[in-house]
Amino acid sequence: MTPNSLVQVGLLVGLLLALARPLGWYMARVYEGKPVGLDRVLGPLERLIYRVCLVNPAEETGWKAYARDMILFNLAGLLVLYALQRVQAWLPLDPLHFGPVSPESAFNTAVSFTTNTNWQGYAGETTMSQLSQMAGLAVQNFLSAASGMAVLVALIRGIVRRRSDTLGNFWVDVVRGTLYILLPLSFVLALALVSQGVVQTFTGSATVPLLQPAAVSQPKLDAAGKPVLDARGDPVMEAATVSAQVLPLGPVASQVAIKDLGTNGGGFYNTNAAHPFENPTPLSNLLQLIAIGAIGAGLCVTFGIMVGDRRQGWALLAAMLLLLVPLMLVCLAQEQAGNPVLGRLGVNQAASALQPGGNMEGKEARFGVAGSATWAALTTATSCGAANSMHDSFTPLGGLVPLFLMQLGEVVLGGVGSGLYGMLLFVVVAVFAAGLMVGRTPEYLGKKIDPFDMKMAALGILAMPLVVLLGTALASVTKAGLAGPANPGIHGFTEMLYAFTSAGNNNGSAFAGLNANTPFYNMTLALAMLAGRFLVKLPVLALAGSLARKKAAPAGPGTLPTHSPLFVAWLLAVVIIVGGLTFFPALALGPIAEFLTHAR
Amino acid sequence: MSHPGQPAPIFDPALVRSAVWDSVLKLSPRHMVRNPVMFVVEAGAAFSTLLAVQALRGHGQDSPFFVIAVSLGLWFTVLFANFAEAMAEGRGKAQAASLRRSRRQIPAKFLTEPRHGGHFAVIPSANLRKNDTVLVEAGDEIPCDGEVIEGVASVNEAVITGESAPVIRESGGDRSAVTGGTLVLSDWLVVRVTADPGQTFLDRMIALVEGARRQKTPNEIALDILLAGLSIIFLLVTVTLMPFSLYAVRAAGAGTAVTIATLLALLVCLLPTTIGGLLSAIGIAGMNRLIQANVIALSGRSVEAAGDVDVLLLDKTGTITLGNREAVAFMPAPGVTEAALADAAQLASLADETPEGRSIVVLAKERHGIRGRDISALGAAFVPFTAHTRMSGVDLNGRQIRKGAADAVEAHIRNLGGALSAEVRRDVDAIARNGGTPLVVSDGARVLGTVHLKDVVKGGIHERFLELRRIGIKTVMITGDNPLTAAAIAAEAGVDDFLAEATPEAKLGLIREYQAKGHLVAMTGDGTNDAPALAQADVAMAMNSGTQAAKEAGNMVDLDSNPTKLLEVVAIGKQLLMTRGALTTFSIANDVAKYFAIIPAAFAATYPGLQALNVMHLATPQSAILSAVIFNALIIVALIPLSLKGVKYRPASAAALLRRNLLLYGVGGLLLPFPGIKLIDMALVALHLA
């Protein structure tokens, strides 16, 4: 590990921590319905939305109605997004005339963006019209993030409220989260990104001359534009010289901003944040990294403020960072150490003034090992999934880190809202075992954990391993599944495991190397995304409803302290042991076997 | 007489013999299905047995020896878990048997009219029904649970309490309840039957100790759900390992796919069998510990609730203080020597058999060397205490010595022309303010002074309250005394709060107030007027000597009628939960080592690099898998004593308890299997079994 890497990790974590407090305080005010300053400007718009949508903002609902509203809202978003992709050819803002997206790809994408996954089986710049990108994908980037945050807020209210039947109003939570948190932050970030060179335009494309014309061989076309075939039926090839390149453009900065802030991760371009138009400079890289982690970290502080004990929020944030930072350092160390096979061939892989050293395959030269590995860890710790390097090209253990961070259940910062509510499910389990160990009926923040709560926590934790393991198992024995991996052998298994892990955890990052735009993967991954999202959200809301109805026991010396370093350590152990026990065999047959095979 | 509370040694040979047989009987799927984790293990064992048959016929994937060994390992896992449960039940049954001996048929003198002296017919006790009346005379056993409606008698309740000193049972008041099977030693009672056959206190007790009517508590259900969730995950892990393995074999072009027997072994090793196997034993043992403490809980739930209690309401008299007040000082009136006061007070108390009276005699001897005198030899006439005069004393040689409450004595001397001096009045007030009871002594019309009677706080109670405060339990003293007196005793005993001049309504109100703030309240009581508060409290321990109403309202009965017992019940409740939590943590932490044994064993043939994960350097793949299975089964047996005795409980803050238990059972559970599995592997190699 180079000093440069350590400085980058330190800077990133320091900035995230510094931002968490003010942002968390601000978000708490937003969700508690208190004045936030911006409401003087956006208040009329907020009230107009309620009037148009016939929402009575003062009316609160119980968990069932809250869940119903959430599902209807996401279902409507899914259908609109599907329809939009299918009819984009007949709508404006399609300068490159892409035509409709195929049904299964459109379905996969619609599910992907409404579940905050942003798994992309397609290449954005050659598939989606600007209208689909802007009015379809980017809109869902906001709304899926806002609905994740709403579910978290409902859970927090469930913890805070006593003998209450209501959790709040889903519509109000979504509107306020979007208007006062996501929109203003995205606006500021988009402007900052534009300053770094991220494009933002309605122009379809730019044609630029190449610095160095390239000689290529391409099929010869007849007058009708069809390839000319030789006697054996193969296309006749002819030599040609390419001297210009077409660069697709579009409203990129606005989409990238929310892609990061809302932990969506769906890029405008296929290569996502590795593309110079999405992420041009090291500064834009750092800004985006902060944006990816900011809301997740801030929500921990929001949690502490709303439950009336800030230490509780900091304890959860500490647990998350204690998982993130060591794993990030492992990834960095592995990537900086380089490829052992090349090392045995005598290749110098050490960092020096002349070379970044380490494993640079699949990494952008402008980010280097540090900028890529920190990104890979953070984008998978959060459920963002945006990528600025190819995780497929990481060393086995360097690639294991992003995989394992997802397999922990996306609870290390995680998706906005979903990360913390996922972590709170683990808290319920940790509190249960620890509570028994101190000889009391387990309770968290004064709320006793009864069988129903345990059932919901178990269901919420169970959903992800179910879809990931079954999905990977299905892919590894079926013909359609085995057609996907580009690499044979161990690495191919990791590619499939990564795809289902990413979808089941609503991360959306790709290991690449897997051709997932096939009916099999489009459909199975879409189902994995739906299950991974809603089979967690629903138990969380049910848990919130059950907790809200309870009275709270006051804390005393006999109460298990849930903000102490000891409890944080215990929570970490629970998360690691559950994740580890679930995925160790799969990891052993994937990246671990690959590492050990290379190491021999 | 054998006593239900006697603890037997854990591995009593007779108990073990019957438990071994029971653990085989318990293999019935109908029984096993109540415990999902162990049911899965049994299904796995059955499946693996079929594989063994297949292997013996030469069609198996593994060697017959390996499959048979795995099957045996799995069967023994189930048997050991059953054995733990049978042991716990066996201990309960031993207690039940000694109780049942006292439940034999007793001839009952059935009264046709519910009054003493009426005509009676002798019928078997089984024919008695609720609201019948029976006559019980000296030498008779009381045929059923009931309430005394007429008479007073001394009763030996040793069969229930183990205490051979007879107790008084009488109609009216708070000592009217009698229990079937107890023996009337003197006099007679007319008893109204309060329970139908099979519903009596003894029946309930037997059912409870046998575990027949044991219902799962909410905590147990929640733990079951957690274990079921984990089991589903582990089932998924092992099921999906087959396709993963098929892929790996094709990808590597080496090795063979993992065998079903190996997967079954892995599944059973991963399942939380340690806690799953010991869970019911822990619950039964918890109830047994309670019975050993001579407390009968009417449900398992109330025992666990006792662990959660954070407010304890305690009656002053009998719990915090000894029932009796004691003389601690003589405070003479002006012009009277202390010795003269002591002499007069002693004379007035010589014939007074009350504890207060005796304590005055003792104090006079201690302080002034005044010896006991024979009151009849002195020719003195004793004037006993009456509710009317509220004084007692002696008439001796024309002297009229009296002692009593200040206002009573004042009225008495005013009649004789005397008056209470200001100094005496000041002493009286000072004593009352300090929580004592002033007793004024007069000789004729002259006031000699005041005797300071004091409530005596029980020895060691102060330390117990400190202990309770440390574990987060607030103590509240309930007393009928005035607030001044109450405050002084509360301060001396070290309780956190007190309720003075308590009425039944005030008690009920106080409990509701605490509950509204989210506290869990425990209290003890014996009187009928305690019943509403007992019914309201979350944990309510009625005294066995108390009224039927109090026993019905409570959810526990203390056979020793010792209110301080509540503190022990709290500890038992906590210990029960802690044992469950500790073994759950231990069970899951164990899994890590088992992966390191089984994964390299199962897959190193396919990916030789995975041999690096064999950190224990186990001899062969087969010995590795067998060692893990054997360790998994043996650990259940090894933990039976712990599950029956409960983990060690020391009063400490929650943070300290968590630290200790996490270290012991979490870290210990993580590390212990590594050497354990290695040792078994070495043994297998030494025995040429691998």
The number of CA neighbours under 13 Å toward the Cβ of A543 is 34
Whether A296 contacts A415, CB under 8 Å:
yes
Weakest-pLDDT range from A48-62, A542-556, B173-187, B595-609: B173-187
CB contact under 8 A, A436 and B236: no
Residues of B in contact with A434 (CB under 8 A): 581, 658, 662
Among residues A417, A427, A457, A444, the alpha carbon closest in space to that of A538 is found at: A457
Out of B248, B584, B595, the one facing A433 most closely (by C-beta) is B584
pLDDT at site A452: 96
Residues A530-552 pLDDT 10s: 999 999 999 999 999 999 999 88
Per-residue pLDDT, averaged over B188-197, amounts to 85
Tell me how crowded residue A40 is: count the other CB atoms within 10 A of its CB. Answer: 9
Pairing of strands B539-543, B521-525: parallel
The gap between the terminal CA atoms of chain B, to the nearest Å, is 55
d(CA B584, CA B272): 7
CA distance A353 to A160: 55
Does the pLDDT at position A141 exceed 50? Answer: yes
% pLDDT > 90, chain B: 32
Helix (H, G, I), strand (E, B) or coil at B524: strand
* Between residues A460 and B464, the one the model is more confident about: A460
Cβ neighbors of A85 (< 8 A, separation 6 or more) are A100, A101, A106, A109, A110, A128, A132, A136
Considering CB atoms only, which of B270, B305, B657 is closest to A439? Answer: B657
- What is the rounded distance in angstroms from the CA atom of residue B440 to the CA atom of residue B428? 8
Rounded-to-10 torsion of CA B177, B183, B185, B187: 50
Helix (H, G, I), strand (E, B) or coil at B466: helix
At B356-395, the pLDDT tens digits run 888 888 888 888 888 877 777 777 788 877 767 778 888 8
- Do the Cβ atoms of A477 and B243 come within 8 Å? yes
Instruction: Determine the pLDDT at residue B557.
Output: 85
- Portion 356-415 of A in contact with B at CB < 8 A: none
Using CA atoms, how far residue A134 sits from A81, A93, B280, in Å, is 11, 10, 59
Cβ contact (<8 Å) for A553 and B310? yes
**Order of strands across the sheet with B391-396?**
B321-332, B446-457, B436-443, B399-404, B391-396, B381-383
Residue B26 pLDDT exceeds 50: yes
| pLDDT score for B2 | 37
Over residues A244-294, the pLDDT tens digits come to: 988 999 999 999 999 999 999 988 998 999 999 999 999 999 999 999 999
CB contact under 8 A, A461 and B610: no
Q: Of A492, A493, A561, which is closest to B654 when you measure between CB atoms?
A: A561
Inter-chain Cβ pairs, chain A and chain B, closer than 8 A: 220
Q: B517 to chain A: which residues are within 8 Å by CB?
A: 554
Q: Which residue does chain B place closest to A600, by CA atoms?
A: B609
Q: Is B120 helix (H, G, I), strand (E, B) or coil?
A: strand
A348-357, A410-419, B207-216, B657-666: the lowest-pLDDT one: B207-216
Residue B165 has pLDDT above 80, yes or no: no
Query: What does the DSSP 8-state code read for residue B108?
Result: E
Mean pLDDT of A555-571: 90
Shortest CA distance to A383 belongs to which of A506, A222, A545?
A: A506
Among A545-549, B38-42, B367-371, B605-609, where is mean pLDDT lowest?
B367-371
pLDDT, averaged across chain A: 93
List, for residues B95-132, the tens digit of each pLDDT value: 777 667 666 677 888 888 888 888 888 888 888 888 88
Instruction: Give the three-class secondary structure for A340.
Output: helix
What is the per-residue pLDDT for B1? 33
Strand partners, A437: none
DSSP B332: E
Q: Is B458 exposed, middle or buried (0-12, 13-18, 19+ CB in 10 A)?
A: middle
The pLDDT tens digits of the residues spanning B538-574 come to: 899 888 777 777 777 888 888 777 777 888 888 898 9
Q: How far is B519 from chain A (nearest CA, A)?
A: 6
Partner residue opposite A434 with nearest CB, options B219, B470, B658: B658
Q: What's the Cα-to-Cα distance from B644 to each of A395, B23, B78, B86, B615, rounded to whole Å?
A: 51, 16, 18, 11, 34
- Distance (Å, rounded) from C-alpha A397 to C-alpha A30? 41
Q: What is the mean pLDDT of residues A544-565?
A: 90
What is the Cα–Cα distance from B465 to B473, expressed in whole angstroms? 9
CA distance B266 to chain A (A): 11
The pLDDT of residue A470 is above 70: yes
Q: What SS3 class is residue A243? A: strand
DSSP letter for A28, please: H
- Amino acid identity of B217? T
Mean pLDDT of chain B: 86
- The CA distance from B684 to B622, in Å, is 10
Q: Which of these, B642, B627, B651, B513, lies nearest to B573 by C-alpha position?
A: B651
Instruction: List pLDDT tens digits, range B200-231.
Output: 766 766 776 666 556 788 888 999 999 999 99
- Asked if A336 and A9 touch (Cβ cutoff 8 Å), the reply is no
What is the DSSP secondary-structure string of B46-64?
HHHHHHHHHHHTT--SS-H
Q: Which residue has the higher pLDDT, B364 or A187?
A: A187
Contacts of A266 (CB under 8 A, 6+ apart): A112, A113, A118, A120, A124, A137, A141, A255, A259, A385, A386, A508
Query: Looking at chain A, which residue has its C-alpha nearest residue B263?
Result: A585
Closest chain B residue to A460, measured at CA: B229
Q: Spell out which residues of chain B touch residue A588, defining contact as CB-CB under 8 Å.
A: 599, 603, 610, 613
Q: Please give the Cα distance from A120 to A105 (Å, whole number).
A: 9
The residues in A 434-473 lying below 8 A from B, measured between CB atoms, are 434-442, 446, 449-451, 453-455, 458-459, 461-462, 465-466, 469-470, 472-473
- Name chain B contacts of A451, Cβ cutoff 8 Å: 218, 221-222, 225
Probe site for chain A from B237, B247, B466, B614 (most A CB atoms < 10 A): B247
Contacts of B229 in chain A (CB under 8 A): 458-459, 461-462
Contact B251 A490 (CB under 8 A): yes
B680 neighbors B600 (Cβ within 8 angstroms): no
CA distance A218 to A205: 23
Across A388-414, average pLDDT: 94
Position B4 scores a pLDDT of 43
pLDDT at res. B161: 65
Three-state SS sequence of B30-49: HHHCCCHHHHHHHHHHHHHH
d(CA A560, CA B193): 47
SS3 of residue A117 by DSSP: coil
What SS3 state is found at A507?
coil
ipTM of the complex: 0.92
Option in B225, B232, B519 nearest A451 (CB): B225
Token pair of B630 as six digits: 């054997």
Helix, strand, coil % over all residues of chain A, rounded to 5: 60, 5, 30
Would you place residue B5 in the very low, low, confident or very high pLDDT band (cuts 50, 70, 90)? very low
Kindly tell me the sign of the dihedral angle through the C-alpha atoms of B20, B22, B28, B30: negative
The structure tokens listed for B659 are 């630290």
Does the CB of A535 have a partner CB in chain B at under 8 Å? no
Query: Can you read off the two tokens belonging to residue A371?
Result: 């900028």
Chain B residue with Cα closest to A456: B225
For residues B10 and B164, what is the distance between their CA atoms, to the nearest angstrom? Answer: 27
Q: Which helix (H) or strand (E) holds A244?
A: strand A237-248
Eight-class DSSP state of A554: P
Determine, for residues A493 and B658 on separate chains, whether the beta-carbon distance falls below 8 Å: no
What is the structure's pLDDT at B7? Answer: 52
Name the helix (H) or strand (E) containing B446.
Answer: strand B446-457
Q: Which of residues 489-528 of A touch B (CB under 8 A)?
A: 489-490, 492-493
Query: Is the distance from CB of B217 to CB of B301 less than 8 angstroms?
Result: yes
Which two tokens mark A33? Answer: 């319905």
Give yes or no for residue B82 having a pLDDT over 50: yes
Active site residues of B: 315
Which of A436, A438, A476 is closest, CB to CB, to B243? A476
- A160 to chain B: which residues are within 8 Å by CB? none
Percent above pLDDT 90 for chain A: 77
Residues belonging to chain A: 600
Q: B637: pLDDT confidence band, cut at 50, 70 and 90?
A: very high
Q: What is the DSSP letter of A514?
A: B
Q: CA angle at residue B97 from B96 to B101, to 5 degrees?
A: 115
* Phi-psi region at A308: left, alpha or beta (left = phi > 0; alpha = psi -120 to 50): left
- Evaluate whether A418 touches A385 at the Cβ level (below 8 Å): no
DSSP string of B135-194?
EEETTPBP-S-EEEEEEEEEEE-HHHHS--S-EEEESSTT--EE-TT-EEEEEEEEEEE-
Chain B positions touching A586 (Cβ under 8 A) are: 240, 244
Distance (Å, rounded) from C-alpha B570 to C-alpha B558? 13
